[in-house]
Amino acid sequence: MCCALYYLKCQCSPLDGVKGNVLLDIGHGPTIYQDLSACEVFKEIIGADYTDRNREYYEKSLRNEPGTFDWTDVIKTVCEMEGKGKTVEEKREKLRNTVTKTIKCDITRSKPTEPLVLPQVDCMMTIGCLESGCKDLDTYRYARRNISTLLKIGGHLIIIAILNCTSYQLGGERFSSLSLSEEFMKDAITKTGYTILDLEVIPREYNKEQYDLCNYDSILFVLARKDKDIE
């Protein structure tokens, strides 16, 4: 939902919206919510994730197969927010037709989609991916450089990240997360050839039960433009 909100914000901004031919959704996991508004402003969406299980579940969710999470209420809310009169089924069909494939992607490699050679895209989006896949801040910076090779100069980068998080619980197991600060994120983005066009930090209201599941204290939204390649 947070990504859908951010896309709507971008479309109403003085930037005349973020749009183009191809969007690359890096680290999509098993979810589709992040692409619900994107499918209205991009002709093609390519999913990219490291694990086979995530890519398989993502594709099943696009087809709304039995046994997958029911996204109906989320899709309905997004349709209402967009105010274009689309029904849930129309939005499902639009998304299915816009997402052309999901590919394997390893953010720790200099060529993340190797052996596939992917033409550079118009927009790249990553939500909560790099902080889960990087062991330290140097690795994060390296991963940022790696995925930047997939984006055209002049293209847009959308990052949604959780700040000051050290761990999260999923399926009864606890996983570590790289703790990121707003200052570090600004530095990591600008030093890889980007100009930050919009940045927002939304503090999280404390709730002990939810905090025990994932101990982040705020969410960072960034919209940036790639101005140059960094070797």
Helices (H), 107-152: 130-133, 137-148
Beta bridge partner(s), residue 20: 42
User: What residues are designated binding site?
Assistant: 33, 49, 54
Q: Which residues of 76-103 are buried (b: 16+ CB within 10 A; e: fewer)?
A: eebbeebeeebebeebbeebeebbeebe
SS3 at position 106: coil
SS3 at position 230: coil
- For residue 50, the 8-state DSSP code is S
User: What residues are designated binding site for S-adenosyl-L-methionine?
Assistant: 33, 49, 54
- For residue 67, the 8-state DSSP code is T
Q: How far apart are CA 199 and CA 165, in angstroms?
A: 19
